[in-house]
């Protein structure tokens, strides 16, 4: 089956370059493009990744010139947002000078997340002092796919230590700020990725999602963030029952095209998602979504948290938009078997901290308290108490939860909810905020709606349709059937056309 799937995927992935060259440009080349192939940052920022790739393909701009614009923008703004964890400028320049592959995104500047994403010869620090000198010897499978597509990797972005927070901060790299308002954070854990896109450094950036880490930062920074179906993109060499790898983007079509080039199955991938459409996601998103049956959800599944009034306004506003587009929206919630999910968290904790144990074996000693933050040190110790029985029971509960969701989706096509239950988090070095809330409480509110879809494996996307009264972005989330990113992309494309957000820029 995997061989057939790989053959099918290769057949249309090879066509993606041709598809991109024929794509209409909603973000067309500005009239001020210079005849000598140079480009200002203002011109650069008017393009998404597909638009930039087309300019390189048509030899209107060089990959080297695009890289220098991205580097210049990073140097101009990073001192204010602190989103770059590693600068790999010379490595990227050497990559461009050695010649670019003829891939779908040849010449487009790109950044990786410094959490579980390996780039050969560089450290994967996971934003932790314990991994500070962890130089890796090979690329993650998805990085090989990015490089084959011609993406020019010139750095890595900041994240909270081990991704265990909605605050993009760590003792190793410091605190990342939100380009929309520097007094607030960009969310987590892919906060650095969202910040560099919102700041205009790159049109899209790599991100991962263990429990909302693509969708929450996309929501906080006014961007599009899709978490693919579990197993859609290769996790190798990582192992997880809940993690996914993809990106945070400005445009929907960039997200679709990036998934086209990164969803090829790897032989050593732990799990493979159901086959994707015979047409590419990029081609598929141009089709109308039809009349969708949308379940509207106002309350989180598991958490008793108060949902901020602006988040409720955002989701009701989105529901009204969907109805105006011809979709059927009604309040409904899946019948979750709460009383049978006592060990589901054991799977997440055991797998999440497994790399700590591997690092300890390599170093021949246990992690010390001065090498990780106190909360993670406690979590690491607790994870060591999880038994094989706990883990296996948790896996059984994941299957039970997935079945409950699958039954619900016999009636509905999509679930609509807030992406998060609170506004973007304030920047603070203290545990307790000025309004009396703790960071723990804010973390719970940020992930209250997102985490369930990591356990069920369903694709889900945060769409930037609403800005709060104070100017901060608030995303809304749409979750689809397991394996059905295609419906989400078609809906997202319709929403993007109805209420465009690409031109909304952070006032950095």
Which positions are catalytic? 113, 189, 213
Half-sphere exposure at residue 343, Cβ-oriented, CA atoms within 13 angstroms? 16
Instruction: Give the per-residue SS3 of 178-224.
Output: ECCECCECCCCCCHHHHHHHHCCCCCEEEEEECCCCCHHHHHHCCCE
Do 201 and 177 form a contact (C-beta atoms < 8 A)? no
Residue length of the chain: 508
Do 450 and 212 form a contact (C-beta atoms < 8 A)? yes
- Residues 476, 348: Cα–Cα separation, whole Å: 25
Residue-wise over 256-291: b if at least 16 C-beta within 10 A, else e? bbbbbbbbbbbeebeebbeebeebbbbbbbeeebee
Beta-carbon contacts of residue 292 (< 8 Å; ≥ 6 apart): 322, 327, 328, 413, 414, 487, 491
Do 424 and 187 form a contact (C-beta atoms < 8 A)? yes
Q: Is 96 helix (H, G, I), strand (E, B) or coil?
A: helix
Q: What is the Rg, in whole angstroms, of the alpha carbon atoms belonging to the chain?
A: 21
């Amino acid at each position: 089956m995997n061989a057939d799937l790989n053959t099918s995927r290769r057949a249309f992935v090879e066509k993606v370059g041709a598809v991109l060259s024929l794509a209409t440009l909603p973000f067309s080349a500005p009239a001020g493009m210079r005849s000598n192939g140079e480009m200002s940052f203002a011109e650069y920022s008017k393009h998404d990744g597909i638009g930039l790739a087309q300019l390189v393909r048509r030899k209107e701009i060089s990959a080297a010139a695009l890289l220098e614009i991205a580097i210049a923008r990073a140097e101009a703004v990073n001192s204010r947002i602190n989103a770059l964890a590693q600068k790999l400028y010379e490595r990227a320049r050497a990559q461009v000078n050695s010649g670019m592959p003829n891939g779908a995104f040849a010449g487009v500047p790109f950044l990786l997340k410094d959490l579980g994403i390996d780039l050969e010869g560089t450290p994967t620090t996971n934003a932790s002092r314990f991994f500070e000198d962890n130089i890796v010897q090979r690329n993650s499978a998805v990085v090989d796919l990015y490089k084959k597509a011609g993406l020019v990797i010139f750095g890595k972005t900041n994240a909270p230590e081990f991704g265990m927070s909605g605050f993009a901060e760590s003792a190793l790299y410091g605190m990342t700020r939100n380009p929309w308002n520097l007094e607030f954070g960009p969310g987590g854990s892919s906060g650095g990725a969202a910040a560099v896109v919102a700041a205009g450094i790159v049109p899209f950036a790599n991100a991962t999602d263990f429990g909302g880490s693509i969708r929450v930062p996309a929501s906080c920074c006014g961007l599009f963030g899709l978490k693919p179906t579990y197993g859609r993109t290769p996790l190798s060499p990582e192992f997880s029952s809940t993690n996914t790898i993809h990106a945070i983007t400005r445009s929907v079509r960039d997200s679709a095209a990036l998934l086209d080039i990164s969803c090829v199955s790897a032989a050593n991938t732990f799990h493979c998602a159901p086959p994707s459409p015979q047409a590419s996601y990029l081609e598929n998103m141009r089709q109308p979504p039809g009349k969708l049956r949308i379940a509207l959800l106002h309350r989180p599944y598991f958490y008793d948290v108060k949902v901020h009034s602006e988040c409720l306004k955002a989701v009701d506003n989105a529901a009204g938009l969907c109805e105006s587009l011809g979709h059927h929206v009604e309040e409904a919630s899946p019948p979750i078997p709460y009383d049978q999910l006592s060990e589901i968290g054991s799977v997440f904790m055991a797998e999440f901290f497994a790399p700590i144990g591997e690092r300890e074996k390599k170093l021949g000693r246990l992690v010390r308290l001065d090498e990780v933050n106190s909360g993670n040190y406690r979590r690491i110790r607790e994870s060591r108490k999880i038994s094989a029985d706990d883990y296996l029971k948790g896996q059984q509960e994941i299957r039970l939860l997935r079945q409950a969701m699958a039954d619900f989706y016999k009636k509905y096509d999509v679930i609509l909810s807030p992406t998060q239950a609170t506004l973007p988090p304030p920047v603070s070095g203290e545990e307790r905020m000025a309004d009396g809330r703790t960071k723990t409480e804010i973390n719970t509110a940020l992930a209250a709606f997102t985490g369930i879809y990591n356990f069920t494996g369903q694709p889900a996307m945060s769409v930037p349709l609403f800005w709060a009264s104070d100017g901060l972005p608030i995303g809304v989330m749409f979750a689809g059937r397991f394996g059905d990113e295609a419906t989400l992309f078609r809906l997202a494309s319709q929403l993007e056309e109805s209420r465009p957000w690409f031109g909304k820029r952070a006032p950095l």
